Structure 1
Amino acid sequence: MQKKPIERNSFQDPDLIKQFTQEVEKLEKFVDILSTKTLSGPTSLELKWKEIQDRQDAEQHRKSISVARCYPMKNRFPDILPYDQTRVVLIGRKDDYINASYIKDISPNSPEFIVTQCPLSSTFHDFWVMVCNENAELILCLLNDNEIGNDKYWPVSKPLTVGNYLISMTNQIVKPYWTDTEILINEPDERILRKIRLIQFTAWPSSLFPLTSSVSSFLTEILNDPTVHTKPIVLHCFAGIGRSGLLCLLLSAITEILVNPSSIPDLPLLATKLSSARKNIVRDREHFKFAYQVLLHFLKDFIAKHVLKKVVLDDSFTKIDVQAAPEQPSDDPLSLLDPLWATKKGA
């Protein structure tokens, strides 16, 4: 059954607007002290991350990974595999495995996601079978051209034949932070034509985090897509954890806020729900910290562009600083610890 679009709050109620701005102000204060040690020793970020890890460890005992281990040739990494309980099954195929996970019911109004690894050249057909089976109309690629290399699974200069699919590009718009491509899939056997929108985020440096403003703009673009709440969103980075988890976390949190601005969702709880669907999807605490920074930037930008224009502010509203959050991308310190970082950097 097709989902209905959600109804976003109109931000017309002055009391609600005041409450919303106060919530954003509290979030800003929390983000400012994320890396400051608490009286007990650890930083607030370390405590939040431990909360996620403890919940994930408890959840793992209820999940299994067995089918994925039977297909090493279809997995980019031997330790980044979908749970049996949430893996995508390729309907109608004898070999029904793909390294992809359903991400559903993260929050009451969250979009539905299908998170996968960047397709291998040997699994291009599996990928497009999944897209068509799931009736997806939006694909998010979180890798730039250098990172994706020869594994670009969509047509560029000429149509691409993958299995029984003839895939062609019908339009492309290049923007500062992403490339927006319209794709047409022809299934001659079924006499079906499908239109797919593929947005490739091109502004993510290989071993750094991008500017918060670039991700914030990207999120706005995604949320304005008419299918975002009616069809599953297929998204991937290199391994299907890290960047992919970050996007799922932010889209889920922001959607809840746009529907109910009176409170900001519990990010550790949302991250735990994500991890219960795909192991280690948020990856590490630096990705989690960046999620807070992007969320703050998005909300302050939203206030400046949409909320402040609708009301005449009293003194209590003017306390919040609507300037953008700090823009410096930060190195991921775990890149120095992970021996596979060079191969997983696009995760």
Structure 2
Amino acid sequence: PPPPAAPPESPGQASKHFNNPHELCRQRMAVKPPAERPEPISSRINSVSSQFSDGGQAVSPSARSSISSWSEEPAHSNMDISTGHMILSYMEDHLKNKDRLEKEWEALCAYQAEPNACTIGLKDGNAKKNRSTAVVAYDHSRITLKVENSQGNSDYINASPIMDHDPRNPAYIATQGPLPSTVADFWQMVWENGCVVIVMLTPLVESGVKQCYHYWPDEGSNLYHIYEVNLVSEHIWCDDFLVRSFYLKNMQTNETRTVTQFHFLTWLNQNVPETSRTLLDFRRKVNKCYRGRSCPIIVHCSDGAGRTGTYILIDMVLNKMAKGRRSLSRLIDIAATLEHLRDQRPGMVQTKDQFEFALTAVAEEVNAILKALPQ
């Protein structure tokens, strides 16, 4: 199949990108933490409406798509205006009530998933495949590899299927960033689960600490066990994220597939993005590419829990709201959705800031959806 259309670029980035894309990407992928802490999340809720006035972008002649095919508008939603306003009002009150937010987070910290055994991931042969002993896939909820195709004759990878409403088909696979020793396992998982979209939420290196192994070729192709990965294109969208397209080939069967990786560069470990608008824009582009598919979206950061859990929480809640599925009380109980995620993978959403950020992002997107509805 032809590679997916490349996103447009703003004029300032196009020349840099096409003169020396790999050097520029390397500079951007090793991110230094910002000197100043961004403004508190709760104060951002007041500037929701001002953040959604999207300006048009000029398209580089080399980019192979038009702006219209990568719209920044919110996706079509079944949310009616009264429901949207009720959700928005509830979320704003929730964010302003610091005491309630604190109690809710304390209850989430005390929450224990059941069952919660991780014995397989902690076995001698598997323990070295985990980045962190605190985030290991549960025995009852883990992705298994086909042993006969595995480089190490093992079915273990530290990855968890995340179900939404369909218990047979995971909506996501939450996983850690590959280690040098688990790259072949990662691509085997991509292949065996039919995945075509990867969401990467970490820079490769942060303040000198490796967060994730560079698991794709900078140019040309690399072979990882029986999976050949060929870099087709690499498009810097903005300072915060870029998009890569790969051809993935199974060398045993000669079958090929196109895989698109969306790489968010500026979200630092244990932290939150500077603005929710950037992440919401990123999410829209991910979902535009994914639309119409039935395979799980692979989401990873470094340990596959903090940033990964926050992104999945935001996406899952907004998808439910957009489909108009569930009663209003179920839609706005974001803590219950987080417990549902933690039943499937430990440590999902690691800090109170990340939980508060998820609430803020949901409120901002609901506001944008309301603005886009015919009044």
Report the AA paired with residue 135 of structure 2: I
Residue in 2 aligned with 1:337?
A: none
Alpha-carbon distance in structure 1 between the residues aligned to 2:362 and 2:212 = 33
Residue in 2 aligned with 1:219?
A: 283
Identify the match of residue 172 of structure 1 among 234, 240, 261: 234
CA contact 1:111–1:229 (8 Å) conserved in 2:
no
Identify the match of residue 131 of structure 2 among 60, 76, 85: 76
Residue in 2 aligned with 1:48?
A: 104
Alpha-carbon distance in structure 1 between the residues aligned to 2:236 and 2:188 = 27
Ranges in structure 2 where 5+ consecutive residues have no aligned partner: 1-74
CA contact 2:81–2:370 (8 Å) conserved in 1:
no
Identify the match of residue 141 of structure 1 among 200, 204, 221: 200
Alpha-carbon distance in structure 1 between the residues aligned to 2:211 and 2:339 = 32
Alpha-carbon distance in structure 1 between the residues aligned to 2:184 and 2:305 = 22
1:102 maps onto 2:161 in alignment:
yes
CA contact 2:202–2:211 (8 Å) conserved in 1:
no
Moved more, 206-215 or 127-136: 206-215
CA contact 1:141–1:237 (8 Å) conserved in 2:
yes
Root-mean-square deviation over aligned CA pairs:
2.3
Identify the match of residue 225 of structure 2 among 163, 176, 193: 163
Residue in 2 aligned with 1:296?
A: 363
Alpha-carbon distance in structure 2 between the residues aligned to 1:279 and 1:125 = 24
The 3-state SS of whatever aligns with 2:157 is strand
CA contact 2:177–2:301 (8 Å) conserved in 1:
yes
Report the AA paired with residue 217 of structure 2: P
Identify the match of residue 252 of structure 1 among 293, 310, 316: 316
1:233 maps onto 2:297 in alignment:
yes
Alpha-carbon distance in structure 2 between the residues aligned to 1:224 and 1:97 = 31
Aligned length: 286
Report the AA paired with residue 169 of structure 1: L
Identify the match of residue 117 of structure 2 among 64, 75, 83: 64
Q: Deviations over 1:258-302 (max 9, x none)?
A: 011873331011000100000111223221111111111222222
Alignment of 1:104-143 (within 5 A): 104-105=163-164, 112-143=171-202
Identify the match of residue 141 of structure 2 among 81, 86, 105: 86
Report the AA paired with residue 145 of structure 2: L
Report the AA paired with residue 163 of structure 1: H
CA contact 2:204–2:213 (8 Å) conserved in 1:
no
Alpha-carbon distance in structure 2 between the residues aligned to 1:185 and 1:229 = 17
The 3-state SS of whatever aligns with 1:78 is coil
CA contact 1:106–1:252 (8 Å) conserved in 2:
no
Shift of 1:205: 3.7
CA contact 1:143–1:237 (8 Å) conserved in 2:
yes
Residue in 1 aligned with 2:338?
A: 271
Distance 1:197 1:248, change over 3 A: same
Alpha-carbon distance in structure 2 between the residues aligned to 1:113 and 1:105 = 8
CA contact 1:90–1:97 (8 Å) conserved in 2:
yes
Alpha-carbon distance in structure 2 between the residues aligned to 1:215 and 1:69 = 33
Q: Deviations over 1:303-323 (max 9, x none)?
A: 23x12xx12xxxxxxxxxxxx
CA contact 2:270–2:350 (8 Å) conserved in 1:
no
Alpha-carbon distance in structure 1 between the residues aligned to 2:321 and 2:139 = 32
CA contact 2:270–2:307 (8 Å) conserved in 1:
no
Residue in 2 aligned with 1:314?
A: none
Residue in 2 aligned with 1:323?
A: none
CA contact 2:212–2:302 (8 Å) conserved in 1:
no
Alignment identity in percent? 22
Distance 1:53 1:85, change over 3 A: same
Shift of 1:124: 0.3
Moved more, 265-274 or 45-54: 45-54
- TM-score using structure 2 length: 0.71
Alpha-carbon distance in structure 2 between the residues aligned to 1:248 and 1:89 = 21
Q: Deviations over 1:173-214 (max 9, x none)?
A: 211121111100122210200110110011214564211111
Ranges in structure 1 where 5+ consecutive residues have no aligned partner: 1-6, 36-42, 312-347
Shift of 1:77: 1.3
List, as ranges, runs of 4+ consecutive aligned residues in structure 1 with deviation greater than 6 Å: none
The 3-state SS of whatever aligns with 1:154 is coil
Alpha-carbon distance in structure 2 between the residues aligned to 1:22 and 1:99 = 39
CA contact 1:181–1:199 (8 Å) conserved in 2:
yes
Shift of 1:106: 5.7
Alpha-carbon distance in structure 2 between the residues aligned to 1:152 and 1:186 = 18
